[in-house]
Structure 1
Amino acid sequence: SRNALKEHLAARGVPKADIEACGLVRHGDDIPVSYDWFRDRIMFPIPDSRGKIIAFGGRALQPDALAKYMNSPDTELFHKGNVLYNFARARKALAKGGTVIAVEGYMDVIALAQAGFENVVAPLGTALTENQLELLWRMAPEPMLCFDGDKAGLKAAWRAADMALPSVQAGRSARFALLPEGKDPDDLVKAEGPDAFRSVLAEARPLVDLLWMRETAGGVFDTPERRAELEKTLRELTSRIRDESLRYHYQQEMRERVLSFFGSQRGTRQSGRQDGRPGQGKAAAPGGQFAKSGGGRIAITESLGQSALVKRGGEGMSVREATIIVALVNHPALIDENFAHIEFLDLANSDLRRLHAAILDAMAHDMANDRQAVIATIERAGCAEIWERAVGLIRRMRQWPALETAALEDARDAFSQALHLQRSARTLHKELKQAEAALATDPTDENYRHLIEIQAQFQDVQATEALIEGFGVSSGRAGRA
């Protein structure tokens, strides 16, 4: 019936003007007789930030309906660009910790709520708006924006990134998670369970990564003109950030990435080096220490290339990074003592980054003070096998202060040293890439000496790491004499 709801409300004494003002019927000068706004649809109440119902959404029951989803029209109470579905419930759930997750539609919110994710919201059938983003920031400083993994989802992620960019500031940004292509949250949790969605969230990337990926993915920057165009695009992009301090750091980060990226993009160039040193000759010495590597960068020494300091996630765990993670899990007191350092821990290995995300999840739910609770969180995240590998590496390398049986004092000392070395190593890793790119671009004696200095610092950190051993007094083991 076109009038079932209108007649139902009128029979209960609801004035016609109120029915029209609430957007429950279609009416107007060109409509002689008003009729119900929603017909043949599954209805979803839409609450405001206090949980009061202010509108409705409807999903068509018939597959051939012109509009699969439909919301109430804008009214005095409801403007769909200013409302997030499930805002009130999600905000209440965030009192337990964690961050807010924004998905693309309210059906996704319902599916994830059934899978145990209470901190999820969604816009109402449109792209995320600036006002909705402000609502997300009211809930959490770094909301998680989750998009479908198809082309449309990626474009939606880019639009959200562009919208967020001018308003980000210290302590206020966003992370972006992309679902497997062809799956929405409902498909994913039904097929693979809640842990599959947790894994997607664990792989979320910061705003700067998404912007960089968009501007460089699939691009070939093999000419000065193309490289200049990329630099110009990145300058214009970062100049939109209103916060002066953050704008400076974004521009610095993009400059560092450009230096490294251009080094990897260039092919072999005749640079007049002899014996691996910058020189005046017309031909580069084949096989010299600083001959171009296959990726177009200046080659580092073989021993440095095999070092855990420069190996990335695909090449195995480093003992140092495993020590940090295993010590945190086995000695939860370290989590509370080092909260600020743990939250922004920079790890090279992708598997250990997943364990790190699980630790952060435990922290968000106030479970990080209990070893078994942290391990349970790791298992729920589908990372049990990674955890076993990390512990196995620690045992093989005899880094016993990170193990559960060690005294807290020993674990604290080993963790502190490993964390200090990790910071140094990650900083040097970035500096090494910049030095390689600088020498590839401008093969001068000064750039050559600078690269040698960075390599020497790398070797110093590696040597220091090799000397670390347990401190033994509290755990009853003798340290190295």
Structure 2
Amino acid sequence: HKGNVLYNFARARKALAKGGTVIAVEGYMDVIALAQAGFENVVAPLGTALTENQLELLWRMAPEPMLCFDGDKAGLKAAWRAADMALPSVQAGRSARFALLPEGKDPDDLVKAEGPDAFRRVLAEARPLVDLLWMRETAGGVFDTPERRAELEKTLRELTSRIRDESLRYHYQQEMRERVLSFFGSQRSGRQGRQDWKQGQGKTAAPGGQFAKGGGGRIAITESLGQSALVKRGGEGMSVREATIIVALINHPALIDENFAHIEFLDLANSDLRRLHAAILDAMAHDMANDRQAVIATIERAGCAEIWERAVGLIRRMRQWPALETAALEDARDAFSQALHLQRSARTLHKELKQAEAALATDPTDENYRHLIEIQAQFQDVQATEALIEGFGVSSGRAGRA
């Protein structure tokens, strides 16, 4: 019955009362060595590979056990196998992290040669399950043709379809789509960027083959980024992302109380939506932000009724139904959280882009150019994520109407 038990299970479970998570290593001699080094929360199979029953034991001990594997080919194969075994059963609050030791090392070797801190560093660099799966499918791969890219996407779809929990399966599929878009976008940007840099050697190069003209040497950004809501200035356009944040807050005032710290310092590009934001803050200041009609009354007193109608109209046109009054609070909360995360990322990247442009304009080195390309790739990632969310809203709205 070796596959049904874990070495040091009882002692490790008792040690978890002090905090932390359980650590699973490959061999019981590693458990002994780590216990001598001060790690009491460690278990191991008894001479077999990790089994499903043992994984269930680990989940009974902690929601996110740490699976630690030796730094050789056999250890890596064991990590892949454990990831495949865990995937169908993961759910919210139930996953695993993977710690990979330096090549040729096991925990016993590591703590004896370099001490307990070396093992702590390995644990600190542990990867979540989604990272391990992505690394396995992309490491060393060449995706230079549509067929190879399609094959990768098919493999990732098949992987994520194994997750039994419907909600988590959706989030994994979304995560993999975002990674694919970012990965292929970065590859294209990198190839194009290197070519443009060589063609424009000695000039102030701009991404996409453009070169700065006038303006004190300011670097031009790519046309697609220039059109993006991420970098538009002032109130020249109301982005769906920003409108979703404001409309969801007003229609579902419970979100105002839940996200007070974020709302107070919300950074919006659109000047009209900033006026609605100011009205929300005014309602908060007068203890009226817990009622939708009271918030709308504050908006009307501020002379912003027409802005509010335009914002709601945009949300309706783009079928972002979770932000509307009729949506359930849980759906509104999810939509708001997604939009807020994208908004904070976009505003941060906007500032970083300006800094990267300035750095390259004054010092056109390879390093500064690579940094600008990286920032652009992150912009494209946020754009792609936002497009997916907006597309999902439109398709869901059409399906609901049908």
Report TM bin, short chain: 0.5 to 0.7
- CA 1:407–1:320 in 2, change beyond 3 Å: closer, same or farther? same
Q: Does the CA-based 8 Å contact 2:25-2:42 persist in structure 1? A: yes
Kindly state the Cα deviation for residue 161 of structure 1 after the two structures are TM-superposed: 0.1
Q: Does the CA-based 8 Å contact 1:407-1:475 persist in structure 2? A: no
Kindly state the Cα deviation for residue 263 of structure 1 after the two structures are TM-superposed: 1.4
Kindly state the Cα deviation for residue 463 of structure 1 after the two structures are TM-superposed: 24
2:344 aligns to what SS in structure 1?
Answer: helix
Give a deviation string over 1:4-60, Cα, whole Å, max 9, x none. xxxxxxxxxxxxxxxxxxxxxxxxxxxxxxxxxxxxxxxxxxxxxxxxxxxxxxxxx
Give a deviation string over 1:111-130, Cα, whole Å, max 9, x none. 00000000000011111000
Give a deviation string over 1:295-347, Cα, whole Å, max 9, x none. 99999579999999999999999999999999999999999999999999999
1:109 aligns to what SS in structure 2?
Answer: helix
* Cα distance in 1 between the residues matched to 2:268 and 2:26: 30
* Cα distance in 2 between the residues matched to 1:200 and 1:146: 9
List runs of 5+ in structure 2 lacking aligned partners.
Answer: none
Kindly state the Cα deviation for residue 266 of structure 1 after the two structures are TM-superposed: 3.2
- CA 1:425–1:285 in 2, change beyond 3 Å: closer, same or farther? closer
> Which residue, out of 170, 190, 199, partners 2:92?
170
Q: Does the CA-based 8 Å contact 2:182-2:381 persist in structure 1? A: no
Give a deviation string over 1:412-455, Cα, whole Å, max 9, x none. 99999999999546996999999999999999999999999998
Give a deviation string over 1:62-94, Cα, whole Å, max 9, x none. xxxxxxxxxxxxxxxxx1000000000000000
- CA 1:145–1:378 in 2, change beyond 3 Å: closer, same or farther? farther
Q: Does the CA-based 8 Å contact 2:244-2:315 persist in structure 1? A: yes
- CA 1:322–1:250 in 2, change beyond 3 Å: closer, same or farther? closer
The two structures, once aligned, show a CA RMSD in angstroms of 16.3
Q: Does the CA-based 8 Å contact 2:320-2:394 persist in structure 1? A: no
Give a deviation string over 1:266-289, Cα, whole Å, max 9, x none. 37899x999999999999999644
2:395 aligns to what SS in structure 1?
Answer: coil
Query: Which of structures 1 and 2 has the larger relative contact order (alpha carbons within 8 angstroms, sep 6+)?
Result: 2
Q: Does the CA-based 8 Å contact 1:268-1:296 persist in structure 2? A: no
Q: % of aligned pairs identical?
A: 98
- CA 1:292–1:381 in 2, change beyond 3 Å: closer, same or farther? same
Give a deviation string over 1:372-394, Cα, whole Å, max 9, x none. 99999999999999999999999
Structure 2 partner of 1:276: 197
Q: TM-score normalised to the size of structure 1?
A: 0.45
Farther-moved stretch of structure 1 (398-407 vs 247-256): 398-407
Kindly state the Cα deviation for residue 471 of structure 1 after the two structures are TM-superposed: 42
2:191 aligns to what SS in structure 1?
Answer: coil
Q: Does the CA-based 8 Å contact 1:112-1:186 persist in structure 2? A: yes
- CA 1:107–1:171 in 2, change beyond 3 Å: closer, same or farther? same
Q: Does the CA-based 8 Å contact 2:182-2:377 persist in structure 1? A: no
What is the number of equivalent residue pairs in this alignment?
Answer: 402
* Cα distance in 2 between the residues matched to 1:409 and 1:402: 11
- CA 1:470–1:206 in 2, change beyond 3 Å: closer, same or farther? closer
Q: Does the CA-based 8 Å contact 1:85-1:106 persist in structure 2? A: yes
- CA 1:150–1:413 in 2, change beyond 3 Å: closer, same or farther? closer
* Cα distance in 2 between the residues matched to 1:358 and 1:91: 52
Q: Does the CA-based 8 Å contact 1:277-1:448 persist in structure 2? A: no
Q: Does the CA-based 8 Å contact 2:92-2:168 persist in structure 1? A: yes
* Cα distance in 1 between the residues matched to 2:3 and 2:165: 25
1:418 aligns to what SS in structure 2?
Answer: helix
List runs of 5+ in structure 1 lacking aligned partners.
Answer: 1-78
Q: Does the CA-based 8 Å contact 1:82-1:132 persist in structure 2? A: yes
Give the strand-richer structure, 1 or 2.
Answer: 1
- Bigger Rg, which one: 1
1:180 aligns to what SS in structure 2?
Answer: strand
Q: Does the CA-based 8 Å contact 1:136-1:143 persist in structure 2? A: yes
- CA 1:415–1:180 in 2, change beyond 3 Å: closer, same or farther? farther
Farther-moved stretch of structure 1 (193-202 vs 426-435): 426-435
> Is 1:203 aligned to residue 96 of structure 2?
no
- CA 1:235–1:398 in 2, change beyond 3 Å: closer, same or farther? closer
Give the helix-richer structure, 1 or 2.
Answer: 2
Q: Does the CA-based 8 Å contact 1:268-1:292 persist in structure 2? A: no
Q: Does the CA-based 8 Å contact 2:245-2:340 persist in structure 1? A: yes
> Is 1:213 aligned to residue 121 of structure 2?
no
Q: Does the CA-based 8 Å contact 2:186-2:377 persist in structure 1? A: no
Q: Does the CA-based 8 Å contact 1:274-1:283 persist in structure 2? A: no
Structure 1 partner of 2:216: 295
Farther-moved stretch of structure 1 (276-285 vs 421-430): 276-285
Kindly state the Cα deviation for residue 264 of structure 1 after the two structures are TM-superposed: 2.3
- CA 1:287–1:134 in 2, change beyond 3 Å: closer, same or farther? closer
- CA 1:154–1:420 in 2, change beyond 3 Å: closer, same or farther? closer
